[in-house]
Structure 1
Amino acid sequence: MASEASLRVSVDIGGTFTDLVVEREARLRLFKSPTVPDDPVLGILNVLGMAAAADGVPLEAFLGRVGSFAHATTRGLNAVLTGATARTALLTTAGHPDVLLLREGGRRDPFDFTTPFPEPYVPRSLTFEVDERVSATGAVLRPLDLAALERTCGLLIEAEVEAVAVCLLWATVNPAHEQAVGEVLTRRLPGVPHTLSHALNPSLREYRRASSTAIDASLKPLMSAYFDGLTARLRAAGLTGRVLMVTSAGGVADVADAIAMPILTINSGPSMAPVAGRAYAFTDLGADEVIVADAGGTTYDVTLVRKGEIPSTRSAWVGAEGTGHMTGLASIDVKSVGAGGGSIAWVDSGGLLHVGPRSAGSVPGPACYGRGGTAATVTDAALVLGYLDPDSFSNGSMTLDPAAALAAVTRDVGGPLGLDPVGAARAILELTTEQMVRAIEEITLQQGIDPGRAVLVGGGGAAGLNAVAVAARLGSRSLVVPAVGAALAAAGALMSDLTAVYSATVPAVTSAFDTGKVNRALAGLLARCREFVARMPGSGASITLYAEARYPQQIWELEVPLRVRAFEPGDVEEFETDFHAMHRQILGIADEASPVEVVSWDARVRVALPGSGATLTTRLADPRRPSMRRAFVAGHGMTDVPVRPLATIAPGERVPGPVLVESPFTTVVIADTTSTAELGPSGSLIINGGDAA
């Protein structure tokens, strides 16, 4: 029997499946169970029960050996998208009640007048003005009117608000008034959570600061209940180890920190796949230019890793860009399109085929699931083409219905387009491939990157259906499909560190640099990082300082790492040189004669967890033997195609296409005669095209 607390586990709740990865001594096992939308924690307990059964022990005994439990969730994201958050009020400086309405930027398509102007996250009826004013230098222009604030609290009580967001003008420079407001709210509205903007997101940009504050406050009642319930039910089931939550910034945080700042978890699921994809691409091929693609049941998420660095952004949106709501906090830069395994295929009134963005999800699911779904999906099309084994789907936990898939594809696509079932299924997969390719081209070609020179990593349960075709369309030199690719995000959580990001708004210009003021800000950031390290059990702490900088009058900033922790004579010139180089690398030009303006100073601190730095190897057990199956191959139609379980491929063996490589939770479709597949050092499947082979 394994030693006490010898396991690490991570769970990622997707729209269709709940993924569990179990790690012991740098080796992984993978389990999947259908997501339970009405009770996500039940879905977690179900998949944990599967892992316990695989070990032949009760769930309580299994959880008793778990040292850490990491969890990625879309619960907060879905709550914001559906408006299922708390009744939230916004307190702003008098004269500035429309910050959430005015936003920043404009329409993506200025001539599209069919899209209505978006509603503010907090309605004007719940927006209250606070009589105070602080200047850009931090000077108090108008003292805080405490008597008026007391009257406002009475209005908040009458309105029965469940959370309060506070975003006062220039609180990032002088937070005294926000702090005083927070003290009054704590006294007058006990039990009602509030968020202060200067503590959450001291950003110079007013809209994103207010937006992040409002989102965070609105999530506190919901997410506190969820995190408390999750922890309580896990403890009751036998978990004694540490509970960690995955953050949008590509790290993990203690559950207590996630309760205090729930917005940190809003994009937690998509943030982890790039962490794992980067690790597998480097381990298996030594690549540092990587396209990480994660194809789940609902979406296809893509990220470009350049020179080994995972990109981050402070312009992440919940919902559509420009019409959704900006989170305003550092987040892994992920582009998502509605092209997952559960994406619904449909034909419009003009006879044009579409795939997504609607998804069948886990309930009712694709037609072939037999759970009440009737719409044709990408999974149904793959089953019609023979790419999936109906008797051993999802490691044998589900049996698919080929007749239902055939009927749905024929009715929804074949009939309207005048295609036979195979032709209709091909059209669905080919369109899905094109949507995936367009998403990748948007993050590569638009940044001057040739996608053919990067390694493509295919993750997600639906990745194998299109990954080889996507790589061929992009001209990628190699494709890596990790053995745990079906749960790539969950695997990434086990490779991540405890992470926090802190910011200070101290504007500076290199032509008139106030060294003392900047160094005091940096010292404050370093102190906060050291405090984080002191209260976080772990080892190998690292702190990185960087600046959000731009040329004067530019609109957007670039993130530039600092070489120093305090500026001395000569360091400012080196910083300018680094900014010019970064600007040229990303945008293709630089103005070396121009001074550089810094908008904010930031610090990222990481504390390594046991095993987090390792690239985890996997050889998934599979009792199946090589076989043949009728499947579609271009130029040959439906024909007998070899089926190779991943577990039967020996190190050093090259498997020629066409072939279907099956692992317990995904099938990699190699439907051509020029590609070959082999195992990488981590147990990943590496596919090279004919030219590369």
Structure 2
Amino acid sequence: MTYDVCIDIGGTFTDCLVADQNGDISIFKAPTTPGEFEKGFIDVLNVAAEGFGLQPRAFIEQIALIVHGSTVSTNALVEKKTVRVGLLLNDGHQDMLVLREGPRKGAFEWKLDYPEPYVPRNLTQTVVGRIDARGKVITPLDEAGVRAAAHHFKVSGVEALAVGLLWSVVNPSHELRVAEILAEELPGIPVTLSHEINPMPREYKRVIAAAIDASIRPIVQTYIKRLETALTSGGFHGELLLANCIGGMMPLSEMLQKPIYSVMSGPTLAPMAALALSDEPDIIVGDMGGTTFDVSALRGHQLIITPDSMIHDDSLGIPKVDVRSVGAGGGSIASVDIGGLLHVGPQSAGARPGPACYGQGGLAPTVTDANVVLGIVDPDYFLGGKMKLDTDAAIAAVSQIASALGIGVQEAAWSIYTTANHNMVSAIEEITVREGLNPRESFFVCGGGATAIHIAEMVDILGLTSYMIPRFMAGLSAFGGLISDICREDNAVFLTSDAAFNAKGVTATLGFLTQRGTSFFDGAGVAGENRSFEFSFRGRYEFQSFEIEVPFDAPGGQVTADMLPDLVEAFHQMHERIYSIRSDNDTVEFVAWKSRAVGKRDGQDLLNSQRIAQQSGPVVPKGARQVYLGPQDGKQNLAVYDLRGLGESATVSGPCLVENETFTAYLKSDHHGAIDSQGNLQVVVGSDLVKETQE
């Protein structure tokens, strides 16, 4: 027997999905180990080995592939625990990271402290030398100045270096020479060059990406080395792939070259899973874990890629799948402020000590504690009964909120529950309503161990009419990793316009990009029949300040003059979709070009193998449980169904609970669920809708 494995490290639990050679998938969980993530990685493999009745080494030796979504770099950035970085810029441009792009602030933010630059000014050095926008050397590089800057960095104790020189995307000779000098003066100190990590004409985005990449490079390298050592010691001899933030996987060698692509990579796997599980064109994906609620929106059955992701006050610099996070997880802590207002999150109990009901020393009231008090979560069946929850500890924790608000314990638990729901609704509105999208027109896919507890009320608030509770909901990101493709993106600057379109230059640029993608395929061992390229350009109307990204078809990487009308129309349509206007008479400028090299894996075959038997006989609940449903409805005795015992076409109607080993789903009144052929619970809201579905 051989196995493919995906491991996704969350804030509270580390998820492990295992697919055997027959296509059967099993899910396992183990507590996350902050500061020693590789230990939690091995711990969950040991749990999986026990689940298969094998010794850990015997199981690990049979693993052919491990795909991994890491939070190491994200945590380092969020917690501001990165390494000390030195930054080298052109003379006269020392304040590039101070000024940023001059974004407009909110109209009512009249008093605002100017944020500190990502690299402090005392660690930012400049050097004489200038290349213009056409790649011509205007001022030669002052090599003595580079060596002087290197000396300053050495005495300042920097652990990594970033270099961002003007127009290095057109002519990188100065940056490349700087890297050679720094290697001589500071051997062993990693150097990130802006034209390599983020080849785009925007100086700030290019430089901030280089600075962020440098600040996490030693951290990611150390983690990967520890992980490889732990796996090799455990008997692993298969292939290890890491998730990236653009919706796919990378070999270790690629991630070591560009560790910035590991930032916020884990959450991008949930929308990848949603794309595979549903054919709906417009999808909202909500992934509620122990620490955060991650939400993304898919349009036209495509990922939305954003160039404007933020880390605190700075842009990430590189494009990534648009996933927004709020502090609304199962471990989010509830508190009452001095004015008597209840808050839930963003502070989290995390994995250590975790919610009070975990019995690991936690005392603060959390969302999970509230769900135990309400009766939604069965304390004796958490993780299939492998982890018993302490109800008394949960009651004691929630009692703190009850006392502060002057209400009963169950009323306090309900207040925590509904507040968490509204926090998540706000996050969904942020990525839909505020982006000009109507959430009512979307299909919701649940991810994370806790989402199905809260989804019913959120759906009613938002006005959605259908949603899915996947069979592997508690490990949706890990499932996305199992079925995701290998991918890499390459960018190049080549300026032309529809007034004087240079088709040959564009084709040459795409040829350069596809050559890089082909080298990537060769290194990753991707077979020829599994290779494909997707292309897009960054364009703007003449005199516009910023560009937008537009996908287009270029068979064989060839662009001809007769393709220009289609390229221009594609730009007009994308501009209208984003900004609600188009200007057909304006000149369209094409600034940069991108290729996405995609190496197809057998994810679709694995997905197709997830078929379950038809329901046989009537649907019978496994029991019932008293659940508090708010001051209006009080306690109700709800039927509890075992998801594992439901076959294809089985139906259930709320109010009820549906349990799996790794999650509990609460269906409200008028919410009607049916099991699909892959074991997912498809839910529609409203009796008329369910009748239409049955017909």
Same fold (TM over 0.5): yes
| Distance verdict in 2 for CA 1:357–1:115, change over 3 Å | farther
Aligned to 1:81: 78
- 3-state DSSP of counterpart to 2:382: coil
1:260 CA displacement: 1.6
Aligned to 1:315: 308
Q: Give yes or no for the alignment of 1:444 onto 2:432.
A: yes
Tell me the amino acid that sits aligned with residue 683 of structure 1: G
Aligned to 1:379: 368
- 8 Å contact kept, 1:494–1:612: no
Tell me the amino acid that sits aligned with residue 560 of structure 2: E
Tell me the amino acid that sits aligned with residue 629 of structure 1: R
Aligned to 1:546: 536
* Match among 397, 407, 427 for residue 419 of structure 1: 407
| Distance verdict in 2 for CA 1:119–1:110, change over 3 Å | farther
Aligned to 2:377: 388
* Match among 391, 405, 421 for residue 394 of structure 2: 405
- 3-state DSSP of counterpart to 1:507: strand
* Match among 480, 499, 518 for residue 506 of structure 2: 518
- 8 Å contact kept, 1:483–1:618: no
Aligned to 2:616: none
Aligned to 2:321: 332
1:650 CA displacement: 2.4
Name the CA distance, whole Å, in 2 between partners of 1:613 and 1:200.
34
Aligned to 1:266: 263
Name the CA distance, whole Å, in 2 between partners of 1:132 and 1:149.
10
Name the CA distance, whole Å, in 2 between partners of 1:685 and 1:436.
21
Name the CA distance, whole Å, in 1 between partners of 2:679 and 2:650.
12
1:616 CA displacement: 6.1
* Match among 660, 665, 680 for residue 663 of structure 1: 660
- 3-state DSSP of counterpart to 2:603: coil
* Match among 588, 607, 632 for residue 615 of structure 1: 607
**Bigger Cα displacement from structure 2, 605-614 vs 213-222:** 605-614
- 3-state DSSP of counterpart to 1:153: helix
Q: Give yes or no for the alignment of 1:682 onto 2:678.
A: yes
- 8 Å contact kept, 1:166–1:194: yes
Name the CA distance, whole Å, in 2 between partners of 1:110 and 1:97.
29
**Which ranges of structure 1 fall in alignment gaps of 5 or more residues?**
none
1:113 CA displacement: 5.6
CA distances 1:345-369 after superposition (whole Å, capped 9, x unpaired): 1111111111111111111111111
| Distance verdict in 2 for CA 1:588–1:41, change over 3 Å | same
Name the CA distance, whole Å, in 2 between partners of 1:553 and 1:101.
25
Aligned to 1:121: 118
- 8 Å contact kept, 2:288–2:451: yes
* Match among 483, 495, 503 for residue 507 of structure 1: 495
- 8 Å contact kept, 2:292–2:328: yes
1:157 CA displacement: 2.2
CA distances 1:94-125 after superposition (whole Å, capped 9, x unpaired): 11111111112335435436653221111111
Name the CA distance, whole Å, in 1 between partners of 2:105 and 2:471.
39
Aligned to 2:33: 36
Aligned to 2:141: 144
**Bigger Cα displacement from structure 2, 30-39 vs 628-637:** 628-637
- 3-state DSSP of counterpart to 1:512: coil
- 8 Å contact kept, 1:298–1:338: yes
Name the CA distance, whole Å, in 2 between partners of 1:370 and 1:57.
29
| Distance verdict in 2 for CA 1:297–1:434, change over 3 Å | same
* Match among 325, 348, 354 for residue 359 of structure 1: 348
Tell me the amino acid that sits aligned with residue 552 of structure 1: E
TM-score where L is the length of structure 2? 0.94
Name the CA distance, whole Å, in 2 between partners of 1:501 and 1:144.
30
* Match among 200, 203, 206 for residue 209 of structure 1: 206
**Bigger Cα displacement from structure 2, 496-505 vs 559-568:** 559-568
- 8 Å contact kept, 2:74–2:263: yes
- 8 Å contact kept, 1:28–1:616: no
**Bigger Cα displacement from structure 2, 304-313 vs 80-89:** 80-89
**Bigger Cα displacement from structure 2, 474-483 vs 610-619:** 610-619
- 8 Å contact kept, 1:505–1:601: yes
Tell me the amino acid that sits aligned with residue 318 of structure 1: I
1:617 CA displacement: 5.9
- 8 Å contact kept, 1:633–1:658: no
Name the CA distance, whole Å, in 2 between partners of 1:91 and 1:386.
58
CA distances 1:619-672 after superposition (whole Å, capped 9, x unpaired): 899xx97011111235531121111111112222211211110111110011x3
- 8 Å contact kept, 1:29–1:618: no
Tell me the amino acid that sits aligned with residue 683 of structure 2: I
Name the CA distance, whole Å, in 2 between partners of 1:31 and 1:175.
48
Name the CA distance, whole Å, in 2 between partners of 1:636 and 1:223.
51
Aligned to 2:4: 8
Aligned to 1:469: 457
Name the CA distance, whole Å, in 2 between partners of 1:682 and 1:472.
26
* Match among 221, 242, 245 for residue 242 of structure 2: 245
RMSD (Å), alpha carbons: 1.9
1:538 CA displacement: 2.6
1:534 CA displacement: 2.1
Matches within 5 A, 1:125-274: 125-274=122-271
1:685 CA displacement: 1.1
Tell me the amino acid that sits aligned with residue 423 of structure 2: Q
Tell me the amino acid that sits aligned with residue 341 of structure 1: G
1:471 CA displacement: 1.5
Name the CA distance, whole Å, in 2 between partners of 1:97 and 1:507.
27
- 8 Å contact kept, 1:252–1:499: yes
Name the CA distance, whole Å, in 2 between partners of 1:37 and 1:479.
33
| Distance verdict in 2 for CA 1:396–1:619, change over 3 Å | farther
CA distances 1:543-566 after superposition (whole Å, capped 9, x unpaired): 011101122233332221222233
| Distance verdict in 2 for CA 1:41–1:637, change over 3 Å | same
Name the CA distance, whole Å, in 1 between partners of 2:387 and 2:196.
47
**Bigger Cα displacement from structure 2, 224-233 vs 520-529:** 520-529
Name the CA distance, whole Å, in 1 between partners of 2:109 and 2:634.
43
- 3-state DSSP of counterpart to 2:231: helix
* Match among 534, 537, 545 for residue 555 of structure 1: 545
Name the CA distance, whole Å, in 2 between partners of 1:566 and 1:168.
31
* Match among 281, 285, 295 for residue 288 of structure 1: 281
Name the CA distance, whole Å, in 1 between partners of 2:229 and 2:505.
46
Name the CA distance, whole Å, in 1 between partners of 2:520 and 2:450.
38
Q: Give yes or no for the alignment of 1:18 onto 2:14.
A: yes
- 3-state DSSP of counterpart to 1:570: helix
| Distance verdict in 2 for CA 1:616–1:128, change over 3 Å | farther
- 8 Å contact kept, 1:299–1:338: yes
| Distance verdict in 2 for CA 1:618–1:427, change over 3 Å | farther
| Distance verdict in 2 for CA 1:340–1:23, change over 3 Å | same
- 8 Å contact kept, 2:395–2:409: yes
Name the CA distance, whole Å, in 2 between partners of 1:299 and 1:433.
13
TM-score where L is the length of structure 1? 0.95
**Identity percentage of aligned residues:** 38
Aligned to 1:580: 572
Q: Give yes or no for the alignment of 1:297 onto 2:286.
A: no
1:308 CA displacement: 0.7
**Bigger Cα displacement from structure 2, 155-164 vs 104-113:** 104-113
Name the CA distance, whole Å, in 1 between partners of 2:600 and 2:391.
47
- 3-state DSSP of counterpart to 1:511: coil
1:433 CA displacement: 1.3
**Which ranges of structure 2 fall in alignment gaps of 5 or more residues?**
614-619, 691-695
